[in-house]
Structure 1
Amino acid sequence: MITWKSLLLGACAPVLLSASATAATPPQAQAPTAVAEVAKKGPKYGTFGFDTAGMDRAVAPGDDFYGYANDGWMKTTEIPADRGSYNTFGILADVAAERTRAIVEDSAKSDTPAGSDARKIGDYYASFMDEAAIEAAGLKPLAPELDRIKAIHTRADLSRELGASLRADVDALNATDYTTDRLFGLWVAQDMNDTSKYRPYLMQGGLGMPDREYYLDESPRFQDLRDKYQAHIAKMLTLAGYDDAQARAARILALESAIARAHWSVDATGDMSKANTVWTQADLAKNAPGIDWTAYLQAAGMAQQPTFGPWQPSAITDIASLVGSQPVPTWKDYLAFHAIERGAPYLSKALVDEHFAFNSTALAGTPQQRDRWKRGVDNTSSALSEAVGKLYVERHFTPEAKAQMQEMVKNILVAFDARIDRLDWMSGETKSKAKEKLANFRVGVGYPDKWRDYSGLRIVRGDAYGNWERSEAFEYRRNVAKLAGPVDRDEWWMTPQTVNALNLPMQNMIVFPAAILEPTFFDPNADAAVNYGAIGGVIGHEVVHGFDDTGALFDAKGNLKNWWTAADMAQFKARSQALAKQYSAYEPLPGLHLNGDQVLGENIADLAGLASAYDAYHLSLKGQAAPVIDGFTADQRFYLGWAQNYRSEFREATLRRNVLSGVHSPGEYRAQTVRNQDPWYPAFEVKPGQGLYLAPEQRVKIW
């Protein structure tokens, strides 16, 4: 789901769709590929790949298409007690977790060679599951970091510790990872001005709650959360043996509130023109005084790096000033708390439970902690991501599924290319540049061709905390090392076992991991119309991210470079704002509307991606008539396939958090992008006066 953009609520070579080593064959040179309308084997859901039992046919599709397609499922599905929300992505994540559990448990049991990836996977998981050893260790694993913090006396000492704690734990590709609880986060990616080299981007951080609004909103709801957060800070410090915890907690919350005031909003963070700033080391010292940048960069292992990209420059400046102005003892308390908070999931049960009580129950409304094996699978998969992914695809992704996906991608690229040709508002000059960009798309399906090397990562059986700590440092060093080498334009930023998809604008690349290529998104045995509406809509979504309000700013080589005429860009912005206005009218909770600008990129991708998938489906028929199946026409099956993607239920706290800090509209509103699609109206006999009806001139069309 963000043009750095993943499908969700977000260093390997991809599988290319042509023989070219650098770009897919221009779509206009390819003929659409026919797809059999009805597969030979039975689909997982129903007779044609759609869960008709999950519908509510008493609902008029023109009044509530999401309810018509999904209310049956909504009425019979409960949010699991260990979740803040539940949706199609979550269902597939459960499937992937069960499969990954088998992989890690097999690795933990088997007598694999010392130092092998399988042994590391098994030892990491077994260590996390060994609660007795973790309890016996107590706070000892934290001692080295807490001792370093206690030894801080000067601003230089403080800067050195802040630099030593820097990690590659933010990702501008993922809307949920724009910030970190460390003071800053590092993201190493292509330079936006010259994608032949890397740039280290520094991103705002330092908050223990999800977003600046949690600190600054004066409503009773957020005041209560701040009270709970302060109590949580005090409890964590007390558990770690600190005295005067209440006073320390008050000072920490005050400091984080000052950091929050410096933070950019989610909407501003997504503005590439503002993010594209380059500072030298001298600029860091001049523009962000307060930190001893020489000490910071030395400790961070980047003393020789000449340039940096402050993603939110004014925030970097203001946060650095706090390092210089706030009392050193307050900073020491702050660092100690966050060290305890980050490490808590790998420490004793008392810390684990308190961490859950605030971060999941208070913030997201989740009543029950996830089973330990699920947390162990997630943590192992995160630490040894591609090592686990390699075993995952060996067991669970077939060449046939990959070939069918590649076929669909080809057809959707053809369809989008044709849509560019048909635009009546865009000049030939801009169309030519758009088609050039599309022709240079790189596409990865299922898994990378080149797997990451974990030989440098030391995993010790019985050392859960140390394994996590070393894996984070390993990932950090891997990212910093990229700065000294050539750009890998084929790097994947998702693992095969991730239920998501991604557009990488500076690589001009889209990826579809194996774990999302499962029913209901993709079923090799389902009706083609359903597959095109479901995974086809996802493919189109990621393609269009290359042309949304962010992607449209990047050229065919991935550089942030204008390729539009002024008149065409004005038209594009006007049409985009019409879509933003439409979504700003939606009110998921009383008094809480969507921010149409904040979710704009994702909604452009849904809008034009679904339209492209529709065109591709009909192109794939090569003029043959599509049959009616179980009383549903092909167009009806197509749009139902799309709506089924976005089944979702939310606890109120989680929904509020997603609306405030996320870039994706809730599933209900993503499904309702159909109201802008002309073919949807005759497919379901939608008439004026119905709730979703838009007159033809009100339907937003961008691509």
Structure 2
Amino acid sequence: MKTAWLGAAAAGALLISAAGAQAHEHNDCLDALCHMQSLDMLAQDGASGGTATSLESPRYGTWGYDLGGRDTAVKPGEDFFKYANGTWEETTEIPADRTRFGNFDKLSLLSEARSQAIIQDAASGKVQDKDAGKIGDAYNAFMNEALAEQLGAKPLAPELDQIRAVKTKTEFTGLMGKTHSSGFVSIFPSYISADEKDPSKYAVYLLTGGLGLPDRDYYLEAKFAEKKAAYLAYVQTMLTLAGWDKPAEHAQAVVDFETKLAQVTWTRIEKRDANKTYALKTRAELDAYAPGFDWGALLTPAGLGGVQSVVLTTDTAFPKFVAVYNETPLETLKAWQAFHLADDGAPYLSKAFVDAQFDFRGKTLSGQPEQRPRWKRGVANVNGMMGEAVGRAYVAQYFPPESKAKMLKLVADIRAALHDRIEALPWMGAETKAKALDKLSKFTVKIGYPDEWRDYSGLTIRKDDLYGNVLRSSAFEWKRDVDRLGGPVDRKEWGMTPQTVNAYYNPPLNEIVFPAAILQAPFFDPNADDAINYGGIGGVIGHEIGHGFDDQGRSYDGDGVLKDWWTAEDAAKFKAQADKLGAQYSAFEPLPGAKVQGGLTMGENIGDLAGLTLGLEAYHRSLNGKPAPVLDGLTGDQRVFLGWAQVWRQKIRDEALRQQVVTDPHSPAYYRVNGTIRNIDGWYKAFDVKPGDAPYIAPEDRVRLW
């Protein structure tokens, strides 16, 4: 399921994906990070009512904005991000167990703390819920560090024995086919989601994978040579901990194998093209297209042996992957599988595994000084396995019904604003406009929590089997997906839990989804000034709706079908404006040698521009012709822009930022403010920005899409 997220983090993303879609390249999020976050910064950011242990929603100033976080020594037309957030930035420190910190993260800390309280109540019998016992057992299993130390690498032993017993490539392919019910990995990952050419049914999607570094560039570009060398050492460490023979020799072979895969892996920009990433193949066509590989041996262990067709998401890479696979010695493949088994299993094993993984993936790759406390990782683990069970209690305690009603009105306002703007677009013809309005009218809106909760009765959780719980959870989810093949798509399903601080757009279902946890300040506060809400959650709503009309979302019609509904002339005009936006962002260089990729971030940048534009427009409509009030010397329009900027308050470590610009489809938070406002005419008027000011773009050069 291709989904557009607000960001890339469950802790803060403008878009979030449905089950299985995390592996796909078309996810568009509100925010760029998916970690749960620590509580030690919860009371910062100008919020009141906050000690570090408070479970209350934050408040900002007297009318929804933290005036003390501004730096009024900086002119809005000089650096709007600094003007709106400069003092906050100067006085805020990133917690040692985090790679970044901002307002998304702050709400994620709150959600994490609330989830922990719910989980602990479940463990102590205080929660009256059918899944309370399983929730408690899952958490206690993770928190039993003494048992993990006692077991060491033993949980991996049965699977390591299976790897050692492999005698042929076909047998090894069979191991890769067990990825959804084991700790094994595959160079051809799979998932099941709505068929993008017929969203009424499910389809099986195959991807290319197999890499242990964040991106193909880490293997191929000289600037990442130190990271690649550190990765080689890490592979050796993990093989040693797993008891694999000749760890140094095999580590080099593993990295060489992955480097060959990287050379034939599509770039992230290539993977963003919705039309190029849908190649339907029958089984016979697959055998002919990528010969020399036993596709039946891969699909049958996954329960897909009877599937008549699959969708290849990076089709031209498949024959090349098969060639690399066939030329690689079996012993190297076995070592590669053993390494990834240990790497993926590390969080659920002894301290030696946990520390080794954090030292490389946390410190070296992302610059995070300290590991998160175990309880935080335990909460994330439970939310990952039984998130909707925790979500039921979360909603009951923390999501007032009136918030849903107010959100529905805001969504209606944003949709109405876009409807009027589409009708008035000077660059779009009548034929395309009619179809765009039809798509807008068919948007499904989901707010807060699902109408039907997940049934976890078939999931076995044991309080003394952490690693086994993770494997059984994966197998449980996969069986559910496989069992739905041939049946209708479940349009009531959610791709996020209610306690997730995020939102998403899902193209095949043409739906926008806003979990309960994001519907709090600074995004949404029922008691805040309307302008702040329109700049905050209004911008988020507009962002998600905008994804339906971004460079990829526009490829899906009102029924979610991947098809071209644009006239050639209108498509060319859209592309011209999108290319102009991409060029603007590609000029941004947050760190020396680390430039934003306008092509990779295109969808999110279009979503941001649409979101803030629509938030401002909807605010104007809400005034019903009356003048906006002035608060603390700030006009209504000024407050809309400040509301947007406040959402994107964030600091990030340099290593994490370098990784983000290579791997993430979201621009850094700084440019989600400064890169967006400079294309909106209303910003220039609101803050009297003139030619010669740093962000100034001449009217004829501003990007004008939605």
Q: TM-score under structure 1 normalisation?
A: 0.92
In structure 2, relative to structure 1, the CA distance for the partners of 1:11 and 1:518 (3 Å cut) is closer
- 1:185 is aligned with what amino acid? P
Alignment correspondent of 1:695: 698
Partners in 1 of 2:58 and 2:207 — Cα distance? 45
The 8 Å contact of residues 97 and 369 in structure 2, kept in 1 or not, is answered as: yes
Once the 2 structures are TM-superposed, how far is the Cα of residue 640 of structure 1 from its aligned partner?
0.1
Aligned pairs, number: 661
Match of 1:201 among 185, 205, 209: 205
1:288 CA drift (Å): 2.1
In structure 1, the residue corresponding to 2:509 is in which secondary structure? coil
- Letter matched to residue 151 of structure 2: A
CA distance in structure 2 between the aligned counterparts of 1:71 and 1:182, rounded to whole angstroms: 46
- Which of 81, 84, 91 is the matching residue for 1:76? 91
Match for 1:82: what amino acid? D
Tell me the equivalent position of 2:611. Answer: 609
Matched, 1:488 2:502: no
2:215 aligned partner: 211
Q: Distance in 2 between matches of 1:392 and 1:43?
A: 17
Instruction: State the alpha-carbon separation in 1 of the partners of residues 559 and 639 from structure 2.
Output: 37
Give 2:517's aligned residue: 515
Amino acid at match of 1:72: T
Equivalent residue for 1:131, pick from 138, 145, 148: 145
Residue equivalent to 1:251: 253
TM-aligned CA deviation for residue 181 of structure 1: 6.0
Distance in 2 of aligned mates of 1:54 and 1:589:
24
Once residues 681 and 504 of structure 1 are traced to their aligned partners in structure 2, the CA distance between those partners, rounded to angstroms, is: 33
Q: Give the match for residue 6 of structure 1.
A: 5
1:682 and 2:682 are equivalent in the alignment: no
With normalisation by structure 2, the TM-score equals 0.91
Superposition pairs of residues 94-243 of structure 1, within 5 angstroms: 94-110=109-125, 116-166=130-180, 182-219=186-223, 222-243=224-245
In the alignment, the residues of structure 1 paired with residue 160 and residue 602 of structure 2 have an alpha-carbon distance, to the nearest angstrom, of: 43
1:546 paired residue among 545, 548, 564: 548
User: Alpha-carbon deviation of 1:258?
Assistant: 1.0
What is residue 37 of structure 2 aligned with on the other side?
Answer: none
Structure 1 position 625, deviation (Å): 1.7
Match of 1:670 in 2: 672
What are the Cα deviations for residues 107-147 of structure 1, in whole angstroms up to 9, with x where unaligned?
A: 1111779x931111110001000111111222221111111
Output one character per residue of 1:619-652: Cα deviation in whole Å (capped at 9) or x when no partner. 1121222111111111111100000111111111
Structure 1, unaligned stretches of length 5 or more?
Answer: 14-41, 170-179
2:678 alignment partner, SS class = helix
Unaligned runs of 5+ in 2: 9-14, 19-56
- Greater Cα offset, 52-61 or 645-654: 645-654
* CA–CA separation in structure 1 for the residues paired with 2:2 and 2:340: 31
Contact 2:546-2:611 at 8 Å conserved across structures = yes
In 1, Cα distance between the equivalents of 2:296 and 2:552? 34
Contact 1:445 1:511 in 2 (8 A): yes
In the aligned structure 2, how far is the partner of 1:53 from the partner of 1:695? 32
Cα contact 1:3–1:551 (8 A) shared by 2: no
Q: Does 1:466 align with 2:474?
A: no
Higher mean alpha-carbon deviation, 591-600 vs 460-469, is at 591-600
Deviation of 1:529 (Å): 0.3
The one-letter code sitting in structure 2 at the alignment partner of 1:119 is: G
Cα separation, 2, equivalents of 1:518 and 1:347: 36
Who is 1:34 aligned against? none
Of 272, 275, 278 in structure 2, the residue corresponding to residue 276 of structure 1 is 278
Asked if structure 1 preserves the Cα contact closer than 8 Å seen for 2:574 and 2:705, the reply is: yes
Q: How does 1:293-692 map to 2 (within 5 A)?
A: 293-672=295-674, 673-692=676-695
Distance 2:16 2:123 in 1: 26
CA separation of 1:498 and 1:80: change in aligned 2, threshold 3 A: same
Mean Cα displacement is larger for which, 588-597 or 96-105? 588-597
CA deviations on 1:223-250 (whole Å, 9 max, x unpaired) are 1111111111111111122232100100
Question: 1:668 and 1:253 mapped to 2: Cα distance?
Answer: 35
Q: Would the aligned equivalents of 2:363 and 2:369 in 1 still touch at CA under 8 Å? A: yes
Quote how far apart the aligned CAs of 1:284 are.
Answer: 2.4
Q: Helix, strand or coil: the match of 2:269?
A: helix
Alignment pair present for 1:90 and 2:90: no
The Cα shift of 1:697 comes to 0.9
Secondary structure, aligned partner of 1:445: strand
Mapping of residues 259-270 of structure 1, within 5 Å: 259-270=261-272
State the distance in 2 between where 1:56 and 1:466 align. Answer: 52
Instruction: Check conservation: 1:11, 1:488, Cα contact below 8 A.
Output: no
SS in 2 for 1:560: coil
Farther-moved stretch of structure 1 (290-299 vs 357-366): 290-299
Secondary structure, counterpart of 1:106 in structure 2: helix
Superimposed CA distance per residue, residues 230-285 of structure 1 (whole angstroms, 9 cap, x where no aligned partner):
11111111112223210010011011111111211111111011111011112222
Question: % of aligned pairs identical?
Answer: 49
Deviation at 1:11, TM superposition (A): 14
Q: Which amino acid aligns with 1:213?
A: D
2:177–2:186 Cα contact (<8 Å) kept: no
CA distance in 1, matches of 2:607, 2:681: 17
Distance 1:124 1:43 in 2: 30
Q: Kindly indicate whether structure 1 or structure 2 has the higher relative contact order, using CA contacts under 8 Å at least 6 residues apart.
A: 1
Aligned equivalents of 2:314 and 2:400: distance in 1?
Answer: 43
List per-residue Cα deviations over 1:512-553 (Å, max 9, x = no partner).
Answer: 011111111111111010000011000000001000000111
Measure, in 2, the Cα distance between the counterparts of 1:167 and 1:577. 43
Shift of 1:83: 1.1
658-667 vs 287-296, which deviates more?
Answer: 287-296
Contact 2:5–2:16 (Cα < 8 Å) also in 1: no
SS of 1:512's equivalent in the other structure is strand
Does 2:64 align with 1:49? yes
Aligned partners of 2:639 and 2:240: how far apart in 1?
A: 57
